[in-house]
Amino acid sequence: MIYFDNSATTKAAPEVVDTYAKVSANYWGNPSSLHKFGEQAFNLLEQSRQQIADLVGAKLSEILFTSGGTEGDNWAIKGTAMAKREFGNHLITTEVEHPAVHNSMEQLKQQGFEVTYLPVDEHGRVSAEDLRAAIKPSTILVSTMAVNNEIGAVQPLDEIAAVMRDFPRIHWHIDAVQGIGKGLADKIFNDRVDFITFSGHKFHAPRGIGFMYKRQGRKIAPLMAGGGQERNLRSGTENLPAIAAMAKALRLLLADESAKVKRQRDIRLAILHHVEKFPNVTIFSKDLPYFAPHILCFAIAGVRGETIVHAFEEHDIFISTTSACSSKKHVESSTLQAMKVDDGIATSAVRISLDEHNTMAEAEKFNQVFDELYTQFAKLN
């Protein structure tokens, strides 16, 4: 079996599953309880928080636990809107964001907020100059992804940071769900960003757990009221087994990161350079420096994306259409639409997404199967 759908979700690492099981069995106290079982749980909670903070170069107080990327995106956006409404009602994002960002913005529009969607170029990237031109005195938030989940485009975070330094009172949120462990830490954790969201199941942690970086001193309103956990910002009894497991997964992910990134990039390029030779293939994730090392998106003209996915599945190779959030809904890629790709080609798009466990042998097998399927599709057309 070849699994090339890691941007949808990753397999939990055995060591991570082991940590989850051990914490579930041995640290079952509530971290808010005063007795020794509660104290043991609280200590492990803060040890996990410190480990994550150390791994990403943040302060202990800047790490907040969430249920994943969707909650983190909603919290950064709506929490900022609630906390800063007296200072303005204008929000800026891009046309290629994940639904967790886009739909949050649309909800806020219904509540009277103004939203500007920045356009993208033919590579799915926004312009820092367009961002600067869009900022108003009423702007309170800019939200941009680090890596596009559909085609792997890396946004110009350095250039965006340069713009944002001229507007220090505006919150800047980065959705880094697809960017963790991909050699982009220096761009994501820059000296200007205020909020960064992550999802554990994208890097071999359990599902239903994530974390958010919140720069010290930045204000954000809580979305859930209750017992005051997470420094009164995110109430609810902490999911300690998943938190400890996520800390373990992050440590494993970042070990030898550069070597893992190089391997993924080499595998991606081996597939890209093979499939791009075929006349009916369109590559959306070009061989350019501003694409992530693990995502490749392409189309075969005249063949719908779901047909391609199922054809590979018959060979025990698992890829996806552009996004797991839209694939079963048969929704066209919002990123390709924003790039003004013709609908006839966009509906043929599929995505390969790698992780550090994929191999060059798997790429070679993929290319072999691709040749067979391409011939079959050509006969059908």
Catalytic residue among 55, 161, 325, 369: 325
Stated as kind and residue range, the H or E segment containing 201 is none
The DSSP secondary structure of 260-315, one letter per residue, reads: HHHHHHHHHHHHHHHHTTSTTEEESS-SSTTB-TTEEEEEETTS-HHHHHHHHHTT
Stated as kind and residue range, the H or E segment containing 44 is helix 36-56
**Is 297 noted as a catalytic residue in this protein?**
no
Instruction: Give the position of tokens 């490749």.
Output: 296
User: Taking a C-beta distance cutoff of 8 angstroms, is the pair 301, 352 a contact?
Assistant: no
User: Taking a C-beta distance cutoff of 8 angstroms, is the pair 88, 139 a contact?
Assistant: yes
The amino acid present at 92, given as its one-letter code, is: I
Question: Quick one: three-class SS letters along 95-153?
Answer: CCCCHHHHHHHHHHHHCCCEEEEECCCCCCCCCHHHHHHHCCCCEEEEEEECECCCCCE
Q: Which two tokens stand for residue 289?
A: 């420096």
Neighbours of 155 (CB within 10 A): 25
Instruction: Give the position of tokens 């997470």.
Output: 230
Residue 84, classed as helix, strand or coil, is helix
What are the catalytic residues? 325
